Amino acid sequence: MVSEAMEKALNAQFNAELYSGYLYLAMAAYFEDNDYSGFAAWMRVQADEELEHGMKFYDYILRRGAKVNIEAIAKPETEWESPLAAFEQALSHERYVTSLINDLVALAREEKDFATDNFLQWFVEEQVEEEENAMENVSKLTLAGESKELLFKINEDMGTRTRGGSEE
Ligand code: FEO
């Protein structure tokens, strides 16, 4: 079993992962609306991944005999100034998620809940990759600057992302 505080924290993270998915779906829709189908496809893959992250928490909560709380998912932003602005927000969001995971690990260690600590290590590693991908996207778009040609090329390249690829 897990403590009451841990049950609450795991449920909060379940919700936060679903929110991440919702945020990336909002970005996908924004990109579709602005004819960047490659960026939209990339964000849809990212949104799928977040739902999977959420379900890892859902399953873990149940495995520990705790209760899954279904709460409202906050409304994300839906418009950005530019593709770069959206990807910059994705990066700052991933940094925030990393801080949430770190707080969870700290709580697990404080409570000597080593099973939960162990479960969370997958997310610790995943966040390194999430931040790495987000930083790479921001760098690419920053380098493209005002060049429509480069932006189009990056949009095309990123549209080839699939689940299970190197960026998962
Ligand atoms: Fe679930 Fe993007 O981390």
Q: How many CB atoms lie within 10 A of CB 71?
A: 10
The mean pLDDT value of the chain amounts to: 96
pLDDT tens digits, 109-137:
999 999 999 999 999 999 999 999 999 99
CA of 130 to the centre of ligand 1 (A): 6
pLDDT tens digits, 73-101:
999 999 999 999 999 999 999 999 999 99
Which structure tokens are listed for 114?
Answer: 């080593």
CA of 2 to the centre of ligand 1 (A): 23
pLDDT at position 168:
45
Instruction: Tell which atom from ligand 1 comes closest to the C-alpha of 17.
Output: 1
CA of 24 to the centre of ligand 1 (A): 10
pLDDT at position 165:
55
